[in-house]
Chains A and B, each alone.
Chain A
Amino acid sequence: MGKGSARALALALAVILACSDVAVVTAQETERIEGSAGDVLEDDPVGRLKVYVYDLPSKYNKKLLKKDPRCLNHMFAAEIFMHRFLLSSAVRTFNPEEADWFYTPVYTTCDLTPKGLPLPFKSPRMMRSAIQLIATNWPYWNRSEGADHFFVTPHDFGACFHYQEEKAIGRGILPLLQRATLVQTFGQKNHVCLKDGSITIPPYAPPQKMQTHLIPPDTPRSIFVYFRGLFYDTGNDPEGGYYARGARASVWENFKNNPLFDISTDHPPTYYEDMQRSVFCLCPLGWAPWSPRLVEAVVFGCIPVIIADDIVLPFADAIPWEEIGVFVAEDDVPQLDSILTSIPTDVVLRKQRLLANPSMKQAMLFPQPAQPGDAFHQILNGLARKLPHGSNVFLKPGERALNWTAGPPGDLKPW
């Protein structure tokens, strides 16, 4: 022990000596995520709010989907299913005058590469075009400049509309959406792409498919840690260190030789079943802090090990993430084995008991048709909790808050 600490001390000394220009930085300050009891999950939003759905030309939504039906299956598909849900929802109103919230059905992520990856390059212009349309055809946008409107923007970095974080940060949230409420998968504290008042939702995971892979809950959990996915994104990040901020690479390098860590890049056909026989499922960040693994882990009762500093988790005000998951700082990845093995067994069992709660699973899914307590309802609950609107929502006559000419010139071109 003594020698160890002495050595470590000396090591640190040597490092400082060698490269005196290296500032040793401790990890950034983090806050505790607000958690609360899961009873909010049972809330019924019906009667607590009214939503008006703008009737947009189908080129903003249905035609895009017709062009590429794959949009229904990728993890950003929530924007489509939310639209479908609202059309037949009990909270929908056809009288815009009595509406609490306005929804603009625009499928900004439904532009896929041949490989099925969503491209966000046209999204800003499309969004701008849609907003221009509703602002000219209806009086409600101009009355609040979007403060009582919500948009579903499930892209990597939400309404920043770029998949590279640097570029996304450089762009910032689309200026026209500065006042609107954004419903997005992206969630990271103190990030330009997450504005106050946004609702963080789970990514879309196919509910029927998951249902068919359910195995009996008494199947003994015989994997300690499970992960399937990339460790290095050699295509986009050939030298490593950018992708997942190095955390996934660190998981591989430190734990590939650990028999307790069933980790690999291969995606087996039994992926969902294997999650159901695992105790811990790693949910490290990728290019963005969130991933569908969060949803899969909760649905399959595998304790999510969340490795993404400052992540804002879906429905964090309703789902007690802290109680059901394990949070490991990106810096602490090399100690992942120690961290997980030293969690008291009682705590592990408790987390598993909580995960077995069906309302938690329900809140993570977008089922067709919608069911009480599902993710759609949680979004509505979130919107209802923001009511009544504050005094700052509606502008005084003649007051203007948005700058229609802000943003990169490319975004200002017509769609």
Chain B
Amino acid sequence: MGTGAVAVAAPDRAKQRRAGGHLWKKALLHFSLCFVMGFFTGFAPSSSSSWKSAAATPQHHPPHRPGDRLAASRVAVDARATLSPPAEAADALSAGATVDLGDDEEDAAQRRLLIVVTTTRSGPGERRRRRGELLRLAHTLRLVRPPVVWVVVEPAADAPATAEVLRGTGVMYRHLAFKPEDNFTTADAEAHVQRNAALAHVEKHRLAGVLHFADAAGVYDVGFFEQIRQIEAFGTWPVATMSAGEKKVVVEGPLCSASKVVGWFSRDFNDGTTRSVTYNTEADLNPAGAAGTRAHTIDVSGFAFNSSILWDPERWGRPTSLPDTSQDSIKFVQEVLLEDRAKLKGIPSDCSQIMVWQYSVPSSR
């Protein structure tokens, strides 16, 4: 490469010398400057889209090699040039009983991948309930427009039985059989390890999408999943928690103003109390003020985030070295979520519609 540049420049230089000594020096300077400039412009952009188009284009028209390959694959590649689906496929899609795929591809292409992570608890009662609950969540996810990937984390011993339920649902799921190394003393500790296992999977595979931890015991409105697709970085919403056998309905979540999170609230509808924390806009810039808000944690049922934070933290302005994401990813995410409030989106825009319900059973402790 370097030799190429010199070779081109050489005759030019010779001519310039005749014109005057300082001239060719100057010319050479120009050339090298240009070279350096070109060199750096080459590095600078690397926006994935431009890369993509540059590299993808040749594939649209593959060179027809002598001894053309097997018809199936070759035809397939050629067909790529036409971006519209085959007519009969389109018909079938619109006729599809469950998932609405009939919308045009352009719209579909805007849709982010949803990564729904469901952890399981191994308490005796919960294990018995697990299949039914997973089934209910699966039915909801089956109605969400693709692309959706459901990551189910489960102790390896229970996995084959559950797999039977899951595979009947038709949801694209990944079943992470997880080998508990020690007996967990609390359900929280177990959930924590399972979540990290799921995040490790996402990290290893560099799955890019909106990630949410969906509790199988919770109930989601289908529309909810379309809402969280809009999340660019982080999103949060109100969650209703009801207690079985008690007089207790609590809604907790963000206080929002035009999708911007301005605080947090918790409201008990039965004793009528509401507690809230609002952000002081000035404190935002003040590390000491932010510290106050940092102390409260956000439950996993109440947020979703862009999974690229796990494997591309630099994109989010975070040094790679600081948090060891492979160790405790979920904590990392929870911290990032509360620190980077500017990127936090309230869902829906005024955070008033409840689309997630959970219930707790008093005896499950």
Contact = CB atoms under 8 A, between A and B. Distances in A.
Are A and B physically bound partners? yes
Interface of A: 1, 3-5, 7-8, 11, 14, 17-18, 26-33, 215, 219-220, 222-224, 256-257, 259-260, 262, 268-270, 273-274, 277, 322, 325-329, 332, 335, 338-340, 342-347
B160 interface: yes
A220 B86 contact: no
B199 interface: no
Contact of B205 (A8, A256, A322): A256
B26 interface: no
Given A4-B54, A327-B69, A344 B86 contact: yes
Given A215-B167, A270-B159, A339-B77, A1 B57 contact: yes
17 contacts: A8-B54, A32-B71, A219-B167, A220-B170, A224-B172, A257-B205, A260-B147, A269-B160, A322-B70, A327-B69, A332-B69, A340-B76, A342-B80, A343-B76, A344-B86, A344-B89, A346-B88
Contact of A257 (B53, B63, B175, B208): B208
A262 B172 CA distance: 10
A273 B55 CA distance: 37
Contact of A344 (B77, B79, B156): B79
A335 B74 CA distance: 12
Contacts of A335: 59, 77
B73 interface: yes
Contacts of B156: 269
Interface residues of B, number: 54
A268 B175 contact: yes
A261 to B, nearest CB: 9
Nearest to A323: B72
Given A219-B167, A222-B167, A262 B86 contact: no
A325 B207 CA distance: 28
Contacts of A346: 86, 88
B76 A259 contact: no
Contacts of A215: 164, 167
B225 to A, nearest CB: 15
B73 A329 contact: yes
Given A4-B56, A339-B77, A343-B76, A26 B149 contact: no
Contacts of B75: 343
Nearest to A334: B59
A27 B167 CA distance: 40
B11 interface: no
Given A26-B63, A219-B167, A270-B175, A8 B72 contact: no
Considering the complex of A and B, which 10 residue pairs feature the smallest CB-CB distances, nearest first?
A: A4-B57, A29-B67, A220-B170, A327-B70, A257-B206, A7-B54, A345-B89, A342-B80, A342-B79, A18-B1
B362 interface: no
Interface in B185-206: 204-206
A347 B72 contact: yes
B254 interface: no
A165 to B, nearest CB: 22
A31 B177 contact: no
A152 to B, nearest CB: 29
A397 B2 CA distance: 71
Contacts of A262: 174
A345 B101 CA distance: 14
B304 to A, nearest CB: 16
B72 A326 contact: yes
Interface string B158-178: 011001100111111111010
Contacts of B207: 257, 259
B153 interface: no
Nearest to A18: B1
Interface of B: 1, 4, 53-60, 63, 65-67, 69-73, 75-77, 79-80, 85-86, 88-89, 92, 113, 115, 147, 149, 156, 159-160, 163-164, 167-175, 177, 204-209
A345 B76 CA distance: 11
Contacts of B1: 14, 17-18
A327 B72 contact: yes
Given A33-B70, A259-B172, A339-B77, A18 B4 contact: yes
B177 A268 contact: yes
Given A268-B177, A345-B88, A219 B168 contact: yes
Contact of A26 (B65, B73, B177): B65
A3 B170 contact: no
Contact of B57 (A8, A273, A338): A8
B69 A329 contact: yes
Given A222-B170, A326-B76, A328-B73, 11 more contacts: A18-B1, A26-B63, A29-B67, A219-B167, A257-B206, A259-B115, A262-B174, A326-B72, A326-B73, A327-B69, A343-B76
A3 B53 contact: yes
A322 B71 contact: yes
Contacts of A322: 70-72
Contacts of A224: 172
Contact of A338 (B59, B172, B175): B59
A319 to B, nearest CB: 15
Nearest to A221: B170
A141 B223 CA distance: 76
A27 B68 CA distance: 10
Contacts of A29: 65-67
B175 A345 contact: no
A327 B68 CA distance: 12
A1 B70 CA distance: 27
A253 to B, nearest CB: 10
Contacts of B172: 222-224, 259
Nearest to A17: B4
Contacts of A5: 57-58
A142 to B, nearest CB: 42
A33 B168 CA distance: 37
Contacts of A1: 57, 60
B147 to A, nearest CB: 6
B73 A273 contact: no
Contacts of B174: 262
A305 to B, nearest CB: 9
Nearest to A335: B59
A28 B256 CA distance: 62
Contacts of B55: 4, 8
Nearest to B79: A342
A30 B67 contact: yes
A327 B73 contact: yes
B300 to A, nearest CB: 21
